[in-house]
Amino acid sequence: MKFAYTSLIAGTTALATIAMAGAVSAEPMKIGITQNNVGVDSYQTTYEKAFIEAADADADVETVVLDAGGDVARQIAQIQDLVQQNVDAIIIWPTNGKAVVPAVRAADKAGIPVVITNSNIAEEGFDFIKSFSGPDNITQGSRSAEIMCDKFKDMGIEKTAQIVQISGQPGYTTAIERAKGFEDRLPEVCPDVTLVETQPGDWNREKSQRVMEAFLVKYDKIDGVYAGDDNMGIGALNAAKAAGRDGIIFVGATNFAVGYEAMARGEYWGSIYQSPVDDAKNALATAKAVVEGKDVPFLNYFDTPKITQDNMDEFTKPVF
Amino acid sequence: MAGFVERMRNGDIKSLIARNGIFVAFVAFMIAFGIGSDRFLTFDNLESVVRSSAMIGIMALGVTIVVISGNLDLSVGSMLSFGTVMVVNLHDKIGPGPAILVMMICVLLLGAVNGFLIGFVRLNSLIVTLGMLSAIQGLTLIYSGGKNVDVNPSTQDTTWFRVFGRGEVAGIDMPIIIFFALASFVGFIIAFTPYGRRVYAVGGNPTAAVFSGIRRNRVVFSTYIVSAFCVGIASIILGSRVMGSQNNVGQGYELLVLASVILGGTSLLGGSGSILKTVIGVLILGFIQNGLLLLGYPYFAQWIVTWIVIILAVWLDVAAKRGRLLSPIA
**Å from B225 to nearest chain A CA?**
26
Residues of B in contact with A265 (CB under 8 A): 153
Question: Is the per-residue pLDDT at A1 higher than 50?
Answer: no
B141 and A205 in contact by Cβ < 8 A?
no
Q: Which of B48, B248, B300 sits opposite A214 (nearest CB)?
A: B48
Q: Residue A253 carries which side chain, given as an amino acid letter?
A: A
Q: Among B134, B152, B164, B293, pick the best mutation site for testing chain A contact (most A Cβ within 10 A).
A: B293
Q: What is the mean pLDDT of residues A41-59?
A: 90
Q: With the C-alpha atoms ordered A166, A167, A168, A174, is the resulting torsion angle positive or negative?
A: positive
Average pLDDT over chain A, rounded to whole?
89
A42 and B52 in contact by Cβ < 8 A?
no
**Å from A39 to nearest chain B CA?**
4
Residues of B in contact with A164 (CB under 8 A): none
Q: Is B329 left (phi over 0), alpha (psi -120 to 50) or beta?
A: beta
Q: Among B39, B45, B48, B237, pick the best mutation site for testing chain A contact (most A Cβ within 10 A).
A: B48
Q: With the C-alpha atoms ordered B317, B190, B24, B261, is the resulting torsion angle positive or negative?
A: positive
Single pTM value for the model: 0.79
Residues of B in contact with A262 (CB under 8 A): 153
Q: Which of A170, A206, A242 sits opposite B166 (nearest CB)?
A: A242
Q: Residue B50 carries which side chain, given as an amino acid letter?
A: V
Strands A114-117 and A131-134: parallel
Question: Is the per-residue pLDDT at A77 higher than 70?
Answer: yes
Return the CATH number of the domain spanning residue range A137-272.
3.40.50.2300
Backbone angles phi, psi at A151, to 5 degrees: -65, -40
Q: What is the pLDDT of residue A5?
A: 47
Question: Which residues in A18-42 are b (16+ Cβ under 10 Å) and which e?
Answer: eeeeeebeeeebbbbbbbbbbbbbb
**Å from A9 to nearest chain B CA?**
30
Q: Which of B141, B238, B242 sits opposite A39 (nearest CB)?
A: B141
Q: Enumerate residues 176 to 215 of chain A having a beta carbon within 8 A of any beta carbon in chain B.
A: 197, 199-200, 204-206, 209-211, 213-214
Residue spans of alpha helices (H) in chain B: 2-9, 13-19, 21-36, 43-68, 76-94, 96-115, 125-144, 163-166, 174-192, 194-204, 206-211, 216-242, 253-263, 275-294, 299-322
Residues B315 and B262: beta-carbon distance below 8 Å = no
Domain span(s) for CATH 3.40.50.2300 in chain A? 2-134+278-302, 137-272
Residues of A in contact with B147 (CB under 8 A): 41-42, 45, 320
Backbone angles phi, psi at A89, to 5 degrees: -160, 150
Q: Which residues of B touch A (CB under 8 A)?
A: 37, 39, 42, 44-45, 48, 51-52, 141-142, 145-148, 150, 153, 166, 238, 241-249, 251, 290, 293-294, 296, 298-300
Residues of A in contact with B247 (CB under 8 A): 40-41
Chain B contact present for A244, CB below 8 A: no
B246 and A265 in contact by Cβ < 8 A?
no
B244 and A39 in contact by Cβ < 8 A?
no
Closest residue of chain B to A206, computed from CA coordinates:
B242
**Å from A320 to nearest chain B CA?**
6
B39 and A217 in contact by Cβ < 8 A?
yes
With a threshold of 0.90, tell me whether the complex ipTM lies above it: no
Chain B contact present for A267, CB below 8 A: no
Q: CB neighbours of A38 closer than 8 A, spacing ≥ 6? A: A44, A45, A47, A48, A67, A69, B146
Q: Residue B125 carries which side chain, given as an amino acid letter?
A: S
Q: CA-to-CA distance for B19 and B322, rounded, in angstroms? A: 11
Residues of B in contact with A320 (CB under 8 A): 147-148
Alpha carbon distances (Å) from B160 to A248, B166, B190, B234: 27, 10, 32, 17
A320 and B148 in contact by Cβ < 8 A?
yes
Provide DSSP, A221-280.
---EEEESSHHHHHHHHHHHHHTT---PEEE-SS--HHHHHHHHTTS--EEE---HHHHH
Q: CA-to-CA distance for B231 and B257, rounded, in angstroms? A: 11
Q: At the topology level of CATH, where does A2-134+278-302 sit?
A: Rossmann fold (3.40.50)
CA geometry: angle B238, B282, B89, nearest 5 deg: 10
Tens of pLDDT along A218-259? 999 999 999 999 999 999 999 999 899 999 999 999 898 889
Tens of pLDDT along A139-197? 999 999 999 999 999 999 999 999 999 999 887 788 999 999 999 999 999 999 999 99
Q: Which of B115, B113, B119, B128 is nearest to B74 (CA)?
A: B128
Query: In which band, very low, low, confident or very high, does the pLDDT at A20 lie, cut at 50, 70 and 90?
Result: very low
A320 and B150 in contact by Cβ < 8 A?
no
Q: In three state form, how does the secondary structure of B38-98 look?
A: CCCCCHHHHHHHHHHHHHHHHHHHHHHHHHHCCCCCCCHHHHHHHHHHHHHHHHHHHCHHH
Percent residues over pLDDT 70 in chain B: 94
More confident residue, B154 or A155: A155
Q: What is the mean pLDDT of residues B4-21?
A: 60
- 3-state class of A300 per DSSP? strand
Tens of pLDDT along B252-294? 899 889 999 988 888 888 998 999 999 999 999 898 888 888 8
More confident residue, A32 or B246: A32
Q: Which of A139, A127, A87 is nearest to A273 (CA)?
A: A139
Q: CA-to-CA distance for A195 and B192, rounded, in angstroms? A: 53
